[in-house]
């Protein structure tokens, strides 16, 4: 029993190293990401990689779930600002997530379809995290009330599909998110 | 020579009837639009239809070009408002165009690709029409200056790809276009 705990900690550490390596490769490399590349960057052997993720799809799905969890956790991490500023900073983070998630999601979609419970589950997770933030910002009178969270997220996701480097896409996102704010010169 | 003019007018009228029928069918029907349906709605014979548009692609391309011309002409038709309001109303019209154009463009894309000069040509036509409107609205201090027209149009086109009925998508577009305005409470 005594040497079981270090082994579990090792296994957990390896799993995290593999996911971090895969996330980095997906974010930065142009072509296909191979299992061998993931193992090399994570500095683990192929046996360890395949013990954690028997197939490429297992790795992709874990990566996707992991990123959804990160974006959900980042909602509770932000604090100390106004409800509107909080929502806006979370939406910017959600956009970054949509950009990196997109490649992983596209790879998963090659083998499955959008009705996969993986996608539905992640959407409802994100919605339940974002809903109280939007409600608070609307109640504070900072954010317009004619949109529900689904529309706000669809807007951010749509902008994440625009082709171009971040310097091109980010000002578009800034403008669209600014459009959610209640503006005091509405007659312009 | 005397009966040549009425014939030309007839031909022009038929062409317009066919394009209007095709536009209506593309905007409203769910499935594939057949040449026979177009002829029926336009109230012309199949011979007349094929004399005007020898193939389905000829009809689609004419439809696309026609819609691009309409959106370009609508820029000069709008007038009498502030430059910012003018730009905003044109962008709303451009959105409607993107929605209907999308199906036609997707059908064309089945047979060709995005490098088709048809698309490049339509983009530069729209850009040259929209540019002076954006410049005027930015000079008037109504519209933010950190976006160029390409970014503004990409934003509108991205929003046109969101799935949902107009009652769902239009408030998203309203918010995003509002975000282009210079807001007097920027610290929210």
pLDDT for B118-155, tens place per residue? 777 888 888 888 999 999 999 999 999 999 999 999 99
Q: Which residues of B touch A (CB under 8 A)?
A: 82, 84-85, 142, 144, 146-147, 151-152, 154-155, 158-159, 161-162, 164, 168, 171-172, 174-185, 188
Binary contact (B142, A188; C-beta < 8 A): yes
Three-state DSSP state, A181: strand
Contacts of A181 (CB under 8 A, 6+ apart): A84, A88, A142, A143, A144, B183, B185, B188
- Is the pLDDT at B188 greater than 50, yes or no? no
Comparing alpha-carbon positions, the chain B residue that sits nearest to A160 is B158
Whether residue B116 contacts residue B97, with contact meaning beta carbons closer than 8 Å, is answered with no
Q: Which of B85, B162, B178 minimises the CB distance to A183?
A: B178
> How many CB atoms are located within 10 Å of the residue B131 CB?
13
Token digits of residue A106: 């596209």
Cα dist. A39→A7, A14, A35, A43, A171 in Å? 19, 10, 6, 6, 36
- Is the pLDDT at B12 greater than 70, yes or no? yes
Contacts of A47 (CB under 8 A, 6+ apart): none
Whether residue B134 contacts residue B87, with contact meaning beta carbons closer than 8 Å, is answered with yes
Considering the entire predicted model, what is its pTM? Answer: 0.79
Q: Tell me how far the alpha carbon of residue B145 is from its chain's centroid.
A: 25
Average pLDDT of each block of 10 consecutive residues along chain A (188 residues)?
A: 66 92 82 89 95 90 86 74 88 81 72 72 86 93 94 92 90 95 62
pLDDT in tens, B50-83: 999 998 889 988 988 888 888 888 777 766 678 8
């Amino acid at each position: 029993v005594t040497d079981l705990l270090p082994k579990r900690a090792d296994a957990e550490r390896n799993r995290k190293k593999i996911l971090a390596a895969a996330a980095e490769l997906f974010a930065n490399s142009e072509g296909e990401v191979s299992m061998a590349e993931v193992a090399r960057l994570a500095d683990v052997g192929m046996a360890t990689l395949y013990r954690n993720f028997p197939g490429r799809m297992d790795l992709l799905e874990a990566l996707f779930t992991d990123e959804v969890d990160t974006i959900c956790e980042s909602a509770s991490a932000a604090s100390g600002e106004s409800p509107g500023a909080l929502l806006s900073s979370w939406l910017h983070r959600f956009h970054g997530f949509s950009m990196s998630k997109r490649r992983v999601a596209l790879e998963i979609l090659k083998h499955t379809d959008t009705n996969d419970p993986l996608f539905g589950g992640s959407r409802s997770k994100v919605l339940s995290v974002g809903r109280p933030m939007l409600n608070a910002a609307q109640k504070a009178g900072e954010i317009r009330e004619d949109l529900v969270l689904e529309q706000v997220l669809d807007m951010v996701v749509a902008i994440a599909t625009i082709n171009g480097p971040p310097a091109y896409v980010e000002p578009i996102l800034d403008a669209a998110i600014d459009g959610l704010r209640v503006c005091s010169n509405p007659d312009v």
